[in-house]
Chain A
């Protein structure tokens, strides 16, 4: 695919470094991965997390493996789900609304359910807990990715699809030639953002309390939790530094090269102006080793994809006629709906045990939490909008600030919760109010990031015109800035509010050195139910929260999105 210019010089040290890097990576994965299947018996054997800083690289490795396994699983799921949704009409009608609901289910709410489930699947092994953690990260990132890929797939031009059919490009070849490249740019960007959000779920899922058992998975999240528990500030500092180093390293060594490389799949038919670049990718392109790999593996494989297998014409695959196929499809859907129906009924019966009074209480809690979510988002917007606009309108700063904000957004804010709890305790601040601050902590960065992007996209001529018109102060905000950043701001607010709902589960119950603070709210309700293993309450709590999120999405956010798309869109 890639043609290397003659000018590219090969440097031996690049190859050497690359070889060492690959070997080191392989060894690391094997060494660290061994720990994943260690024997583990739940009731008594709590795993000790050592606060020795020399253990940190190992813990970081464990966490990283979880993150990447979850990413891989997300990618596989994404393509299967999006393909079905984009290809089949029934699939589309069921799967896409379902995606909307799944997106609204608070991941942390059912973490406890999955931990117990996976532990039952792999008794006496750490693998169950490990998988539960991976599953939590997976569910935290996958819906967003799936939605993006689905949108890309439905956006493939009709003519390109027709050309593929005309030239007999199907199956794996169609996937590699059409579907994958077409969704690549969107997918990589989406994956990068989701991966960043995944650290939050990683940190929570590495140390969780289910049925009064503290379950600790070796990892950077549990290290930090342990440091908090023991009030070891030095270890805490080490952990924070490690976390930042890991986030930056993954960004520089993995995401940046991929983002830069994937630009070749941009669909715009014109050559781009401002291309993302990556030093790592440039290094790889200069390396002889990578070039050899390319020649030996990538090129023949690609040639095969282009050429296809010869003699396709003769082969006739068995295709049942339309009516039979339709019948089979309906039968499959019917079977699926029976299964779903069965579980819905069982779930309903279980929840019904609560009695109607007990059913109403969480709904009331839901309103309280909703107020906190809105307050957190509003507070976050209050400082991020002016700051973001200032950064966005100063190109020099926005280039520096954007990656920093992304790192800040990736950093799992919940790691700081205990520390802030200590401050609350000493200042006698009630968590009823304090939890708003906690929820804001992790989610404000999404608003900031989007506002910067929106503000930097304000066309220059509009800015000049408003200057000539003498728009200043409030009028400048009212007629220029707020309308111009509205679409980006909406995206930011939606993401932030989704994050805040999830954060409420860990923000409404916090502890510091044995003292526990609790706020009245749905998040606290779910957390309490989880600790006690009160199943009907867990299920009902999740349902209520998902209901709140869905209703808010349907009413408020969707309306704002529509307004953003019709009225406030800046035509490029």
Chain B
């Protein structure tokens, strides 16, 4: 029997009363004892939502979560979670915060204190029991988060990007400590599920990797990592796995984007500003050769979350070509990179109108208005029906940024209006 099982789990967000967006679709997953499972996926793919469904914080729209073969309703027993931003109670001391994690245990106050102190010792916080979170550095705060999660000796430890709010060195340090606790069986936890957007982190820590697609999220790959621990980050074997995962994550983009754009009037555009696009193209032009995506990301010190949208954006516009985890400039891309500022805008304008149907529609609407201006709200409402409120604003901002860069229209931030250039400025 699997320790934890997801059976055809789907999740829809209701947007308004009639429309909805599917975030997770038909996800089935078995987590066995001994699994250190990393969940990878592009931003907005619903990784965190999936984790919260496993924790029982959010009910799935369809499907069920089985724990020891039995369905769970509400917060799952034997599950603890470590949060991205620590989620500590600022007005409680380290000791009190850790003791909160023991709530479910039937212990006397003295026993609780003893166990809390043991765990504090274990996660390396000895001597800080009476400190308040605000007195601690980010790394130490996350150690409190670890302590609070581990004190109840959970079967399954859920981690929601636990290292992404920390600086590089601190994160590295904490990853090592976690791995030590896990590998040397210092904790009784039987399985760990880690949500991350760093491929390198996943390959360094996990023995199993699940890759999710986006919009809606589905399981693309589920692979076991057989590299022996402790893994050397610069070793060819390690880099080969990273490269391969990069290829997996980027592979579906062109195949999926094309029919989606044709079939639906409003397709999602990658979240990348025009400035970052130009930067990427200039860099590729200087390199003068195709390059591994992960190396490029490494050079730029970006993780997938931030890096992929830039690549996807360039790919969508036909400025670059991505193949087997490698990236290179197309002819148009090279022309763009070598053009002057004004010529670039012209190329960009052409490409955007050709490849992004939404932009064409927006422009058409603007042109058909007599006063040649439209409040941002108008588009936002249309977008919300398709993307949901948070995503809609982001998408609209990106399109406005592209449109302004291409000089297709102007935008008045103050009044929140789009207007056609050359016509009367609305602010007057």
Contacts and interface: CB of A to CB of B under 8 A. Distances in A.
Interface of A: 3, 157, 159-160, 162-163, 165-169, 177-178, 181, 264-271, 303, 306-308, 310-313, 566-567
Nearest to A269: B134
Contact of A313 (B55, B77, B112, B148): B77
B84, B91, B107 interface centre (most CB from chain A within 10 Å): B91
Interface in B86-118: 86-87, 89-92, 96, 99-107, 109, 112
25 contacts: A3-B130, A159-B83, A159-B85, A160-B87, A162-B87, A163-B148, A165-B57, A166-B55, A166-B75, A166-B80, A167-B100, A167-B103, A168-B104, A169-B103, A177-B89, A265-B91, A269-B90, A269-B141, A271-B134, A306-B92, A306-B96, A310-B105, A310-B106, A310-B107, A313-B77
A166 B57 contact: yes
B52 interface: yes
Interface residues of B, number: 37
Contacts of B272: none
A452 to B, nearest CB: 28
A157 B100 contact: no
A315 to B, nearest CB: 12
B172 interface: no
Contacts of A306: 92, 96, 99-100
B135 interface: yes
Contacts of A269: 90, 133-134, 141
A313 B76 CA distance: 11
Contacts of A307: 99, 102-103, 109, 112
Contact of B103 (A159, A162, A308): A308
B414 interface: yes
B81 interface: yes
Given A159-B83, A166-B81, A566 B414 contact: yes
A267 to B, nearest CB: 6
Contacts of B99: 306-307
A162 B109 CA distance: 25
A34 B253 CA distance: 79
Given A162-B81, A163-B81, A168 B103 contact: yes
A3 B52 CA distance: 37
Contacts of A162: 52, 55, 57, 81, 83, 87
Nearest to B59: A322
Given A306-B92, A307-B99, A313-B104, 4 more contacts: A159-B83, A160-B89, A162-B57, A265-B90
B70 to A, nearest CB: 15
Q: Which 5 A-B pairs have the closest CB atoms?
A: A159-B87, A163-B87, A159-B83, A310-B106, A181-B91
A569 to B, nearest CB: 13
Given A162-B83, A312-B103, A268 B77 contact: no
A310 B130 CA distance: 24
For the residues of B in contact with A, the DSSP-based class is: loop
A168, A303, A306 interface centre (most CB from chain B within 10 Å): A306
B82 to A, nearest CB: 10
Contacts of B414: 566-567
A162 to B, nearest CB: 5
Contacts of A303: 109
Contacts of B91: 181, 264-265
A165 B75 contact: yes
A267 B135 CA distance: 12
Contacts of B141: 269
Contacts of A166: 55, 57, 75, 79-81
Contacts of A3: 130
B88 to A, nearest CB: 8
A241 B231 CA distance: 78
Contacts of A313: 77, 104, 106
A268 B414 CA distance: 30
Contacts of A181: 89-91
A311 B104 CA distance: 7
A311 B106 contact: yes
A562 to B, nearest CB: 10
A160 B87 CA distance: 5
B257 to A, nearest CB: 31
A285 to B, nearest CB: 17
A163 B104 contact: no
B186 to A, nearest CB: 22
A337 to B, nearest CB: 20
Contacts of B57: 162, 165-166
B161 to A, nearest CB: 11
Interface in B107-159: 107, 109, 112, 130, 133-135, 141, 148
Nearest to A168: B103
Interface string B19-53: 00000000000000000000000000000000010
Contacts of A310: 105-107
A272 B243 CA distance: 45
A163 to B, nearest CB: 4
Nearest to B414: A567
A301 to B, nearest CB: 13
A167 B83 contact: no
Contacts of B89: 160, 177-178, 181
Contacts of A169: 100, 103
A186 to B, nearest CB: 14
A566 B412 CA distance: 13
Interface in B374-428: 413-414
A167 B104 contact: yes
A160 B92 CA distance: 13
Contacts of B90: 181, 265-267, 269
